[in-house]
């Protein structure tokens, strides 16, 4: 018996499953757009059904859809004929998953779905199957071969199905305008829940703020920033509205640019105009995301008139466990 090269076998699995996902791109058609429209404009929920491994993938797809703004429910096809099908209403959309398209338990559910006039999105690898013919929209999840060397265990086909489900969820998320705040609301527990626990007003500094007028000398600004130890100063115009920000990094760039000719520079000359800001009612997680995206360590907090009312620092967010 030849020596088994485990690493090569694992790489073969990765290649086969990666190719199965890439094949989805080649097979993508207007049917995908039709599926998105059905799901987006549905007044009810999404019912996902499938047997065996397809059912397990269906449960994951349902969970992903639900957590990203598309209420979904997994219906076991075998249990559906014993009362569970009562979950289906005329406003729903059904996603039926079967690689062969001939899974009998799933086919037994079709007459009931048709009776209610509920649209069916068939996810199958057999476009000539009973399931494909019954679908209002058909999504092709066919693969060239399974990663299982016996060609029996669903491997590449379930990977392709999962990827198709993720594509549906992501496209619906974007189409619905689903935000980071929405996501946090649906994930109040665990590590993600720490993001929903705090708002900016809970963690921001409200007193002794490093605020300076536009006509303050640059040399005085350096001392102001150093004294407050927040790495930044908030610049305001004559009416007290935010007009700019000056950071430690800005100071270094100004010194390099102007060399010794800095005595007459004012805050207005060197500040960064239209800086990133947050409001006190924003989620702390949103503030942290903004800081990470733009490499910022502190943000000015403004009210609805653009008047500075606080500063939130990345160290305070991380210390509070915001992720």
Look at residue 52 and give its three-state secondary structure. Answer: helix
User: Does the pLDDT of residue 195 top 90, yes or no?
Assistant: no
Please tell me the distance from the alpha carbon of residue 268 to that of residue 216, in angstroms, as a whole number: 8
Residue 136, phi-psi category: left (phi > 0), alpha (psi -120 to 50), beta (remainder): alpha
pLDDT one-digit tens code per residue, 247-280: 988 888 888 888 767 888 999 999 999 999 999 9
Mean pLDDT of 197-214: 92
Please tell me the distance from the alpha carbon of residue 202 to that of residue 151, in angstroms, as a whole number: 57
**What is the model's pLDDT at position 275?**
93
**What is the model's pLDDT at position 80?**
73
Q: Which residues of 216-237 are buried (b: 16+ CB within 10 A; e: fewer)?
A: bbbeebbebbeebebbbbbbbe
Res. 193 pLDDT band, cuts 50 70 90: low
pLDDT one-digit tens code per residue, 15-28: 999 999 999 999 99
Please tell me the distance from the alpha carbon of residue 54 to that of residue 130, in angstroms, as a whole number: 16
* CA dihedral sign of residues 10, 12, 16, 19: positive
Residue with tokens 């466990």: 321
Please tell me the distance from the alpha carbon of residue 270 to that of residue 142, in angstroms, as a whole number: 60
Structural domains of the chain, with CATH: 6-178 (3.40.50.10490), 200-319 (3.10.580.10)
Stated pTM of the model: 0.62
Q: Considering all CA atoms of the chain, what is the largest pairwise distance in Å, rounded to the nearest integer?
A: 86
């Amino acid at each position: 018996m030849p020596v088994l090269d485990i690493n090569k076998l694992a790489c073969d699995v990765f290649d086969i499953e990666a190719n199965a996902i890439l094949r989805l791109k080649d097979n993508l058609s207007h049917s995908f757009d039709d599926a998105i429209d059905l799901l987006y404009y549905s007044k009810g929920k999404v019912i996902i059904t499938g047997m065996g491994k397809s059912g397990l993938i269906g449960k994951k797809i349902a969970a992903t859809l639900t957590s990203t703004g598309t209420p979904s429910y997994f219906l076991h096809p075998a249990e559906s004929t014993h009362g569970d099908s009562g979950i289906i209403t005329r406003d729903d959309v059904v996603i039926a998953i079967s690689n062969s398209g001939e899974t009998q338990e799933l086919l037994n559910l079709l007459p009931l779905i048709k009776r209610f006039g509920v649209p069916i999105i068939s996810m199958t690898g057999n476009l000539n199957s009973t399931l494909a013919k019954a679908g209002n929209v058909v999504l092709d999840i066919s693969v060239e071969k399974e990663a299982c060397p016996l060609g029996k265990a669903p491997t590449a086909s379930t990977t392709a199905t999962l990827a198709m489900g993720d594509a549906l969820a992501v496209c619906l998320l974007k189409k619905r305008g689903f935000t980071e705040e929405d996501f946090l609301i649906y994930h109040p527990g665990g590590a993600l829940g720490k993001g929903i626990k705090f708002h900016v007003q809970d963690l921001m500094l409200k007193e002794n703020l490093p605020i300076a007028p536009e006509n303050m000398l640059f040399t005085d600004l350096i001392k102001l920033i150093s004294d407050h130890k927040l790495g930044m100063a908030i610049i305001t115009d004559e009416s007290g509205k935010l007009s700019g920000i000056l950071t430690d990094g800005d100071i270094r760039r100004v010194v390099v640019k102007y060399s010794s000719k800095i005595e007459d520079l004012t805050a207005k000359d060197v500040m960064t105009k239209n800086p990133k800001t947050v409001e006190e009612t924003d989620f702390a997680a949103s503030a942290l995301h903004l800081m990470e995206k733009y490499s910022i360590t502190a943000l000015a907090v403004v009210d609805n008139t653009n008047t500075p009312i606080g500063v939130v620092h990345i160290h305070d967010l991380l210390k509070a466990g915001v992720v």
